[in-house]
Amino acid sequence: MATAPPATYEQALAELDRLVAQMESGQLPLDQLLEGYRRGTELLGLCRARLQAVEDQVKLLDDGQLKSWAPA
């Protein structure tokens, strides 16, 4: 049964953090560990895609250049 993708980047990242914590605990049975790994790769891909989309939008706004950001 497929799980729906999270609605936001933040939700995907939070779910990924929970999965990693569960997997690192060593308490998951092998089947759940494998399913967690599969879900984690889906979430990671979703996060990377959303970050790339934002980077592409920033480049568009900055005339094709991705400028360095320095905190004030």
pTM, entire model: 0.75
List CB contacts of 5: < 8 A, sequence separation 6 or more. 12, 42, 46
How many whole angstroms separate alpha carbon 52 and alpha carbon 14?
A: 19
The answer to whether the beta carbons of residues 2 and 42 sit under 8 Å apart is no
- At 27-59, the pLDDT tens digits run 889 999 999 999 999 999 999 999 998 888 887
Upper half-sphere CA count for residue 67 (Cβ side, 13 Å): 8
Domains in the chain, please, with CATH? 9-61 (1.10.287.1040)
Residues in the chain: 72
